[in-house]
Amino acid sequence: MIWLAGCRGMLGTQIAKAMDASGMEFIGTDIDVDITSSDSVSAFVKNKKITHIINAVAYTAVDRAESDEDTAMKVNACGVENLAEAAKELDAVLIHFSTDYVFDGTSEEPYKETDETNPLSAYGRTKLAGEEAVRNSGCKHFIFRISWLYGIHGNNFVKTMLRLMNERDRVGVVNDQTGSPTYAAVLTANILKLINSGNTSYGTYHYSDDGVITWYDFAVKIYEHGRKLGLISRNVDIAPISTDMYPTPAKRPKNSVFFKEKVRNLGFNINQWDDNLAEYFEETQI
């Protein structure tokens, strides 16, 4: 039995639908099980034969976390600690998702799993604390640091760009932050493949689509697809801007590029980012 915590979020919904379609035995929870309460978690897992816990719960409001770090810490660290302790007690495998925000983005090279962390934001600090809670628990675990996540469910950069491009004649997009998107559907397929394989190479991994781009590059390709499919009905000037022209409460890493050889060795399929984006648009048309 697999417990999917956070089954109604962007990634959780994707995982739930994929497991349901593949016939995998799982139980999904959302706000009905408060992972920030150890009593709630303990009561839920009692008398259940859970082999895997997938944690798709996260406080992801990056800018809001700057003024609400306590809540973010409660969800991203304390809640994760409760899941890790439950996994340890059950002898289950915990699959947890972290972020590129645990790094400061000053490296000139793609980030390896062993590189020193130095989060710039409250969100990054809380996600790093969650990682440490998992490792300190001693449970069997996979931690996947991912970047620029998007998918057909929930709110994300692609949907925001499509909306803005239908509202404005000009859209400014940051062109001095580099990274790689992560398409939720392909990530999900890899996670299910991992579970079915029984692989025990536990640890921390970096995962994203292949290719290095800026947010501006991402927006340009979104516009191309949107216009081609009739999802954008106007001509839009997409203007490259610098980070200081778009100030936000939380600082973003300038470089979010991951070195992904370790996760390839885990057996993950990694596609080019633009191929995945094309697949995203195909899925939205079904």
Q: Are 285 and 136 in contact (CB under 8 A)?
A: no
Indicate if the pLDDT at residue 56 is higher than 70: yes
In this structure, what token pair is assigned to residue 110? Answer: 């793609």
Q: Are 161 and 222 in contact (CB under 8 A)?
A: yes
93-99 vs 149-150, strand pairing mode: unpaired
- What pLDDT is attached to residue 284? 85
Indicate if the pLDDT at residue 283 is higher than 90: no
The answer to whether residue 222 sits within a structural domain is no
The answer to whether residue 277 sits within a structural domain is no
The answer to whether residue 131 sits within a structural domain is yes
Domain that holds residue 45: 2-155+181-211+257-270
The answer to whether residue 240 sits within a structural domain is no
The answer to whether residue 191 sits within a structural domain is yes
pLDDT average, residue stretch 5-21: 96
CA gap 252, 62 in Å, rounded: 9
Q: In three state form, how does the secondary structure of the chain look?
A: CEEEECCCCHHHHHHHHHHHHHCCCEEEECCCCCCCCHHHHHHHHCCCCCCEEEECCCCCCCCHHHCCHHHHHHHHHHHHHHHHHHHHHHCCEEEEEEEHHHCCCCCCCCECCCCCCCCCCHHHHHHHHHHHHHHHHCCEEEEEEECCEECCCCCCHHHHHHHHHCCCCEEEEECCCEECCEEHHHHHHHHHHHHHHCCCCCEEEEECCECCEEHHHHHHHHHHHHHHCCCCCCCCEEEEECHHHCCCCCCCCCECCECCHHHHHCCCCCCEHHHHHHHHHHHHHC
Mean pLDDT of the chain: 96
Q: Are 53 and 92 in contact (CB under 8 A)?
A: yes
Q: What is the CA radius of gyration of the chain?
A: 19
Single-letter code of the amino acid located at 205: Y
The count of structural domains within the chain is 1
CA gap 49, 219 in Å, rounded: 45
CA-CA-CA-CA dihedral for 273, 276, 280, 286, to nearest 10: 160
Burial of 189 (0-12, 13-18, 19+ CB in 10 A): middle
The answer to whether residue 246 sits within a structural domain is no
Indicate if the pLDDT at residue 159 is higher than 90: yes
213-214 vs 178-179, strand pairing mode: antiparallel
- What pLDDT is attached to residue 135? 98
Single-letter code of the amino acid located at 202: Y
pLDDT average, residue stretch 77-81: 98
Q: Are 7 and 15 in contact (CB under 8 A)?
A: yes
CATH number at residue 13: 3.40.50.720
Q: Are 66 and 54 in contact (CB under 8 A)?
A: no
- What pLDDT is attached to residue 172? 97
The answer to whether residue 164 sits within a structural domain is no
Share of the chain above pLDDT 70, in %: 100
pLDDT (tens digit per residue) in 176-227: 999 999 999 999 999 999 999 999 999 999 999 999 999 999 999 999 999 9
Q: Is the four-CA dihedral 203, 129, 260, 11 of positive or negative sign? A: positive
The answer to whether residue 99 sits within a structural domain is yes
59, 101, 111, 123: which is the annotated catalytic residue? 123
Whether the full predicted model's pTM is greater than 0.75, yes or no, is yes
The yes-or-no answer on residue 123 being catalytic is yes
pLDDT average, residue stretch 139-163: 96
pLDDT average, residue stretch 31-39: 96
Indicate if the pLDDT at residue 286 is higher than 80: no
pLDDT average, residue stretch 270-282: 96
Share of the chain above pLDDT 90, in %: 98
Distances (CA, A) of 153 to 8, 92, 260, 280, 284: 9, 28, 25, 11, 10
